[in-house]
A and B are shown apart, each in its own frame.
Chain A
Amino acid sequence: MRYVLSRSEENASKKNLSAVTVKIEGSDEVIFIPLQAISMLKSILSNMAEGKPVTLLPLEAELSPQEAAAMLHVPSSFVIELIEKGKIPHQTTEGSPKILFRDALTYESQLRSKRRENLNKLASEAQALKLGY
């Protein structure tokens, strides 16, 4: 089935519309897609075109330590350590620890800003000590 956009996203945003209208060829069906969803679709499709796997997860999804580890690019033993040390919120469902996707995202952004901070510290220290700069 082919989907035809009756208005481009650019047109829609110029006219300040909050949705685009999609008419399905060969049928009378018309659907409205909010602009926000259009940009999401765009990024999903471009990732798929590059052969990258795409997963949609609700914020309330429960991740196993293994799934959270894959998302954070760390070993799962590290995630289990975080849980044991209480450094990431978790809940225990049927005896196994689960991390909310929302909490994993929060942890990821904290990790990222900590890393940025450390990289900047490292660079200014090297410059202060004239280590090759």
Chain B
Amino acid sequence: MVALTAVLDANVLYPAPLRDLLLNLADTGIFNPKWSQIIQQEWVRNLLLPQ
């Protein structure tokens, strides 16, 4: 099946509700989510920032 591929940048991976929405949508098969190690490090860094 030909599905769209979408790059998820750090700003949609960190607010958790947005991340959960997008990943659950991806799970239905409407698109393939991709992100890089650099994007991964960026959202984790933002998560660990003191609030």
Contact = CB atoms under 8 A, between A and B. Distances in A.
B27 A115 contact: yes
A52 B2 contact: yes
Nearest to A130: B16
Interface size class of B (residues with CB under 8 A): 10 to 19
Given A52-B1, A52-B2, A132-B15, A126 B20 contact: yes
Contacts of A126: 16-17, 19-20
Contacts of B39: none
Interface in B8-51: 15-20, 23-24, 27, 32, 47
Interface string A91-123: 000000000000000000000100110010011
Nearest to A53: B2
A119 B32 contact: no
For B18, B19, B47, the residue with the greatest tally of chain A CB atoms inside 10 Å of its CB is B19
A133 interface: yes
A53 B3 CA distance: 12
A109 B45 CA distance: 33
Contacts of A40: none
Nearest to A47: B1
A52 B24 CA distance: 24
Nearest to A51: B2
B2 A132 contact: no
A131 interface: yes
Interface of A: 52-53, 73, 112, 115-116, 119, 122-123, 126, 131-133
Closest 5 CB pairs of A and B: A126-B16, A131-B16, A123-B20, A132-B15, A132-B16
